[in-house]
Amino acid sequence: MLIDSHVNLHAPQFAGDQAEVIDRARAAGVGMMVTICDKVSSFEAVHAIAMAHDDIWCTVGTHPHEAKENPSLAAETLIDLAARPKVVGIGECGLDFHYDFSPRDEQAAVFRQHAIAARETGLPLVVHTREADEVMGQILEEAFAAGPFKLLMHCYTSGPELARRAAALGAWFSVSGIATFKAAEEVRAVIRDMPADRIILETDCPYLAPAPMRGRRNEPAYLPHILDKLAEVRGWSRDEAEARTEEAFFALFDRIPRP
C-alpha cells in the first residue's frame, strides 16, 4: 500500500476541489494519508478532514512559521487535543531559520513544548528543520535526555551530520518530491545513508510537486513518482520500496491500525 505521510488538505489551494484531490489519490493507489496541522488554530479544520474519511488521519501542532501565533503554547494544550480520535502525531513543529517568519527564540520555545507532548502522549514528533542543523540537534538531544519519544524528520533536506544525530536517536525520515529535483544530489546522497527500516514517503502537498509535475500544485496522487525515485536511489525494486515504506510507516504511526 502507498501511504502519504504528510499532506496539507486543509490548505487554501485545495478549497475548491478537496474531494476530487482525495479521490485522485485513491485512484493512484494511495491507501492512507496523514493530514498535518500547521497551527493550533487550524486544528479543528484539520481534524474534521480526518474524521470525515476512514483512510485519513491527522496531527496537532504548530509549524515554526506560526510559532508567533502563540509563543506561550503549552504542552498541555497539545496533549489535550491529541486525545481526540484519529490524532496520530504531534506537529508539524520545529525550526526554520531560512525564513524566520517567527522569532528564533519563540520557535525554539514552542518546539520544546511539542517534544514534551510527544513524550507524554507516546505519539511521534513530526519535525520541520531548515538551516538550523546545530540548534536542532542540540534541542533534540536535550529533549531525549529527559526521556525518549518517537521522531520523524519530515521532508528531510538538511545535512548529513544532523541526519546522523537524529538517526542515533532512532528517528524516521520522510522522502518528498525534492528527491526528484535535478539539482538535489546532496539530498539524494543523504537518502542513500538513511536507515533502511525508517524511511517513509510524503508529498507535502500542495507544495514540492515532484518531477515531472514540478511547478504545479502538488497532490497526493503524485506520490508514485516519489516512490520510484526512492527505489532508484536506494537500489530497491518498486515493490520492495513500497513494502519497506509501508512497514516503516506503521512502525512509526503505531496508533493507526493496519487495514
CA–CA gap between residue 164 and residue 144 (Å, rounded): 15
Q: What is the CATH number of domain 2-252?
A: 3.20.20.140
* Whether the predicted model's global pTM rises above the 0.85 cut: yes
The dihedral through the CA atoms of 253, 246, 251, 158 has a sign that is negative
Q: Cα separation of 111 and 136, whole Å?
A: 10
C-alpha cell at 176: 518528498
Q: pLDDT in tens for each of the 259 residues of the chain?
A: 999 999 999 999 999 999 999 999 999 999 999 999 999 999 999 999 999 999 999 999 999 999 999 999 999 999 999 999 999 999 999 999 999 999 999 999 999 999 999 999 999 999 999 999 999 999 999 999 999 999 999 999 999 999 999 999 999 999 999 999 999 999 999 999 999 999 999 999 999 999 999 999 999 999 999 999 999 999 999 999 999 999 999 999 999 999 8
